[in-house]
Amino acid sequence: MNPEPETINDLLDRLSEIVPDYPSAGISFKDLTPVFADPQGLRRIVDEIIAPFAGKFDVIAGLEARGFVLAAAAAYATGTGMITIRKAGKLPRAVHRDDYTLEYGTGTLELHRDDIAPGTRVLILDDVLATGGTVGSAARLLGMAGAQVVGIGVVLELQELGGREKLEGLEVHSLQLV
């Protein structure tokens, strides 16, 4: 008899690393790079993160930097394109810009004004949802471009930081609650 397939929770528990006091004291950093580095791990998280949104999106937006890994793989797997939402100063042409706060600091995200047509249905992917500052900023940028955010997919949701509440009205799918 075949053994039971490993659950996504067990896979993430087995492969994720937790780093105390990084990048600053008091932060418990959830490091998913070993999941990305594992052939089954990468395939499982990409397949499972997009599953609830099948047929509902035209393009996938990835958030620099760790969201790029997921979004590029998911766009390739679903035959869609990928929108790059980047940290300030990296995109060469005219941008929409938005400031935000996250668990351990502040930042600015940018989106090329002409990378996405109004009305396009967008799925946002990122690795971790903490305070929701980053994903919320990405949703505002896509709104400035006239796009429609149809969902947000993340691997880990740090529940006690309340990100989901900040994203009211948006469908959030996380693979693991921690």
Ligand X SMILES: Nc1ncnc2[nH]cnc12
Ligand Y SMILES: O=P(O)(O)OC[C@H]1O[C@H](OP(=O)(O)OP(=O)(O)O)[C@H](O)[C@@H]1O
Q: Segment contacting ligand X (CB under 6 A): 22-30, 49-57, 83-91, 92-100?
A: 22-30
Q: Does 157 bind ligand Y (CB under 6 A)?
A: no
CA-based Rg of the chain, rounded to a whole angstrom?
16
3-state secondary structure 2-55: CCCCCCHHHHHHHHCEEEECCCCCCCEEEECHHHHHCHHHHHHHHHHHHHHHCC
Q: Does 64 bind ligand Y (CB under 6 A)?
A: yes
140 is catalytic: no
Q: Which is nearer to ligand Y, 110 or 126 (CB)?
A: 126
Q: Does 102 bind ligand X (CB under 6 A)?
A: yes
93 is catalytic: no
Q: Choosing among ligand X, ligand Y, none, which partner's interface includes residue 129 (Cβ < 5 to 8 Å by kind)?
A: ligand Y
The answer to whether the peptide bond before residue 65 is cis (omega within 30 degrees of 0) is: yes
Burial class from Cβ neighbours inside 10 Å (0-12, 13-18, 19+) for residue 115 reads buried
Catalytic residues: 66, 103
Where does this chain bind ligand X (CB under 6 A)? 27-30, 102-103, 128, 130, 158
Where does this chain bind ligand Y (CB under 6 A)? 63-67, 102-103, 107, 126-134, 163
